[in-house]
Amino acid sequence: MPDRFKNITVGFDFSRGSALALEAGFALAKQFGARITVTTSVPRALDPELLSALESQHAEATKLLRGAAVLADAEKIVREAVERLRPPEIEVDYDMGELPVDSQLNQSAFQTGADLIVVGATGMEGGEEAIIGRDTERLIRRSSVPVLVIKDTMAALPKKIMCATDFSEASERAFELALAFARAFGARLDIVHVVSGPSKSMRKIFGRGYPEGFIESAAALGSQELDEFIEKFDTNGVQLGREVIFGAPWWEILSATRASGAELLVLGSLGRSAVKELLIGGTAERVIRALPTSLLAVKPDSFVIDLEKGSGAI
């Protein structure tokens, strides 16, 4: 995995979340020398009355030509909004379409050869009170390209990054990207591995015990595995911390992320226990739905997306 991104797709729908995603995309493009493609699902992004007005302007055209004209008009509106935020040194392309949001972003990423998709945690459909929008969750499930989900908690240049690993293929790819981010932004990177079992609080509540020394032995084995995992990678130049925890993985990942003050959580979103048809691991799904901070969700290289069906396979 190269330590730089060359093409970044940013989802934009005029919401505050997509404006934050755009700002993060510009910061990444500047840092990595990448090109930006702003992608918009027009039916979801434009106000229905505005969309109807645009369609009325081209009422006499054939259906095909009318659709193309509306997309061209929509691009002008999107371009005007984006240009107000665009740094002069960043080049931007635009891709308008009529597909559902996640399909539009996946198609755009495929066509442009994007190696990263950046979106807001919530868009027009999510509502400001939502932790993560439905479109964003579907995108994480179905995208083979890493998805960076931006929340208010992430500064444009994160200084603290948390990476969770279960030693799966997705976790390897996630750690590679976490290292790339840490190097690019001079950030501290903490990697955490959770040895699966009831959390300490749950053991107190339900009185579930283990033979003497069991947890210590399990943690020691997990620590050895984590050391062996880290040794596969070049960590030179990165301030790296490590932690092994015994407990429920999703709960402990959330707790460790909050405790560390991390502005970005990097997570393999298809782990050892994932079922192919679910397209996302159970631990990742629980973490994503609670989403305490911005998230970089990463699939294994073996995951491929069927653009026509909107489903994936490994």
Give pLDDT, residue 314. 40
Look at residues 287, 265, 267 and name the one whose alpha carbon lies nearest to residue 187.
Answer: 265
Give pLDDT, residue 60. 74
Q: Does residue 16 contact residue 28 with C-beta atoms inside 8 Å?
A: no
Question: CB within 8 A of 268, min separation 6: which ones?
Answer: 164, 165, 166, 168, 169, 170, 171, 172, 173, 174, 281, 284, 298, 299, 300
The domain boundary, picked from 106, 121, 152, lies at 152
pLDDT in tens, the chain (314 residues): 445 789 999 999 999 889 999 999 999 999 999 999 999 999 888 888 888 888 888 877 777 677 889 999 999 999 999 999 999 999 999 999 999 999 999 999 999 999 999 999 876 555 544 567 888 888 988 898 999 999 875 556 789 999 999 998 889 999 999 999 999 899 999 999 998 765 555 445 444 566 667 777 888 888 999 999 999 999 999 999 999 998 888 889 999 999 999 999 999 875 444 433 333 456 777 787 788 889 999 988 766 555 555 554 44
Give pLDDT, residue 218. 81
pTM for the whole structure: 0.85
Q: How many domains does the chain have?
A: 2
Q: What is the dihedral of CA 273, 279, 282, 286, to 10 degrees?
A: 160
75, 96: one domain: yes
41, 183: one domain: no
Token pair, residue 292, equals: 């305490």
Give the pLDDT confidence of 122-132 residue by residue, as tens digits: 765 555 445 67
Give pLDDT, residue 90. 94
Whose tokens are 């790819």? That residue is 173
Q: Is beta strand 92-97 parallel, antiparallel or unpaired with respect to 7-11?
A: unpaired
Token pair, residue 309, equals: 């069906």
Give pLDDT, residue 274. 40
189, 92: one domain: no
Looking at the DSSP assignment, which residues form a beta bridge with residue 247? 196
Give pLDDT, residue 195. 87
The domain boundary, picked from 122, 152, 182, lies at 152
Phi (first) and psi of residue 96, to 5 degrees: -105, 145
Give pLDDT, residue 14. 92
Structural domain including 292 reads 153-314
116, 245: one domain: no
228, 185: one domain: yes
232, 120: one domain: no
In the chain, % helix, strand, coil (3-state, to 5) comes to: 45, 20, 35
Element (H, E) at 50: helix 48-57
Look at residues 253, 155, 117, 169 and name the one whose alpha carbon lies nearest to residue 1.
Answer: 169
101-112 vs 134-142: helix crossing angle, rounded to 10: 40
Q: Which segments of 17-154 are extended strands (E)? A: 35-41, 92-97, 116-120, 147-150
Residue 307's SS3 state is coil
Q: What is the dihedral of CA 196, 199, 203, 208, to 10 degrees?
A: -10
The domain boundary, picked from 152, 167, 186, lies at 152
CATH of the domain at 94: 3.40.50.620
